[in-house]
Amino acid sequence: MTRFWITYLQLVELFVSSLVHLLYGFYIFSSAVAGDISQALNEYFQKPKLNNVEVNEGKLVKGDEERETNANDLPPIVLVHGIFGFGKGRLGGLSYFGGAEKKDERVLVPDLGSLTSVYDRARELFYYLKGGRVDYGEEHSKACGHLQFGRIYEQGHYPEWDGDHPIHFVGHSAGAQVVRVLQQMLADKAFKGYENTSENWVLSITALSGAFNGTTRAYFDGMQPEDGRTLKLVCLLQLCRIGVIIYDWFDIPWLKNYYNFGFDHYNMSWKNMGLWGLVDCLLGNAGPFASGDWILPDLTIQGSIRTNYHLHTFPNTYYFSYATKRTTKIMGVTVPSSILRIHPLLFIRVLQMSQWRHPQDVSPPYKGYRDEDWLDNDGALNTISMTHPRLPIEHPNRLVEKDADCQPLEPGIWYYKFVEGDHILFIINRERAGLEFDLIYDTIFQRCRNHVFRKKLPTLPNQIHH
């Protein structure tokens, strides 16, 4: 009888979680559509007056040229989205970063695969900036069963990118880990035809709720804690997997132009695989979910350790991380720190993650693992995972309690600061975060512009060797 009730409660929780995620997805999609319709109507009924434009044409052009010249002197700030995210050009005029990109004159917001692996997204990010056809690598492509080449960027968004023209990166959630993987690829000269790449192409990395060390949420959503690779038979991620496969199989052009999960290099369209190919994918015999080449295995603790094993913190790059949490302790018990200030999409997970216990019959993911270290969270990631890379080896780090603690900022060290907020406080809905939204992004952009402009390579902490 006890087992029956446990199963019943798990199914109820799955139903509620699925419904909440579905409704939120519909809300985001409908908001984007409504925004586009509103913008189109405004443009139609409020056409600019040609006379005013002609009178002021000279001044406008001159001002634009001056602003463009000044902006071109600055290294770009690249905002990299997280899981289920999107870049400029997707979901109409909706901004993943809540319009933060408008705070600086030189900001790029790439659109990467929203569910593709950290590895694939890092490759896509390189070609987004440099231009050319995305090359996922021959060995990786064969191992995962997808095409070696993907999207073509006729013109890179920053083709002059090199050691003399480095870039600032700001990554939210899994986007922060994507940037770290990209920097390691640059250091390893992993891009064919670009033998001069180096880690010094990256000027700074700022992580906003960065997914450095995995999350216990992955196990609540359906990843097996035994290996961090396979899915449970009945879980939220199974529903997600089925939905994504069907979405890609139907391959509706206008819909995929509006939002794309990023699996085009798997050729899951009905035109390529037919009905039996769809069945094969749904049964788990083919596609990204069969090969493990998607984002969730990278977000387990085991997956993050596998990734981090090859990643370094480099001595000439500046690092800063904001670690969010929405939990507190009451009489020694970790509980959500608020009800109204936690997004409905995340409240159940904040509660569940604060009560996480690793299965006793499963080996811990690493030596020295303790449940109590992983209780504080923001509804998507554990706070311990967001401060700095710490598994399998802890990287140089320093806690920032006040601004004076990081002035001057030194490269080669992960500075981190705790912020009270859930995982999506600083994205999508700017009004929800209020003044805190502006404070966070203004500080990030100001730090990029004023504190970490590298004119010549400094001599600072030794590179870590794993």
Check residue 343 and give its pLDDT. Answer: 94
pLDDT of 58: 45
Give the residue carrying structure tokens 């590179």. 463
How is residue 434 written in tokens? 């209020």
Query: Quick one: pLDDT at residue 465?
Result: 45
Cβ distance 258 to 90 under 8 Å? yes
Separation of alpha carbons 294 and 211, rounded Å:
15
Check residue 41 and give its pLDDT: 84
* Listed residue (382, 400, 391, 424) closest to 318, CA to CA: 400
What's the CA gap between 347 and 343, in Å, rounded? 6
Full-model pTM: 0.91
**First-to-final CA distance of the chain:** 50
Residue 269 CA from chain centroid, whole number = 25
Q: Report the residue count for the chain.
A: 466
- Matching residue, tokens 């995929």: 256
ω into 408 cis (within 30 of 0): yes
Residue 103 near residue 442, CB atoms below 8 Å: yes
Q: State residue 16's pLDDT score.
A: 87
> Quick one: pLDDT at residue 450?
81
Place of tokens 């990081």: 406
Measured distance CA(199)–CA(316) in Å, rounded: 8
For residue 252, with 0-12 CB atoms within 10 Å meaning exposed, 13-18 middle and 19 or more buried, which class applies? exposed
| Segment (H or E) for 462 | none
Per-residue pLDDT of the chain (466 residues; tens, 9 = 90+): 777 777 878 888 888 889 988 988 888 888 888 888 888 888 888 765 444 544 444 454 455 555 554 566 789 999 999 999 999 989 988 999 999 999 999 999 999 999 999 999 999 999 999 999 999 999 999 999 999 999 999 999 999 999 999 999 999 999 999 999 999 999 999 999 999 999 999 999 999 999 999 999 999 999 999 999 999 999 999 999 999 999 999 999 999 999 999 999 999 999 999 999 999 999 999 999 999 999 999 999 999 999 999 999 999 999 999 999 999 999 999 999 999 999 999 999 999 999 999 999 999 999 999 999 999 999 999 999 999 999 999 999 999 998 777 788 899 999 999 999 999 999 999 999 999 999 999 999 999 988 655 555 444 444 444 4
pLDDT of residue 460: 42
Categorise residue 412: left if φ over 0, alpha if ψ from -120 to 50, beta otherwise: left
Q: Check if the beta carbon of residue 209 is closer than 8 Å to that of residue 380.
A: yes
> What is the model's pLDDT at position 63?
53
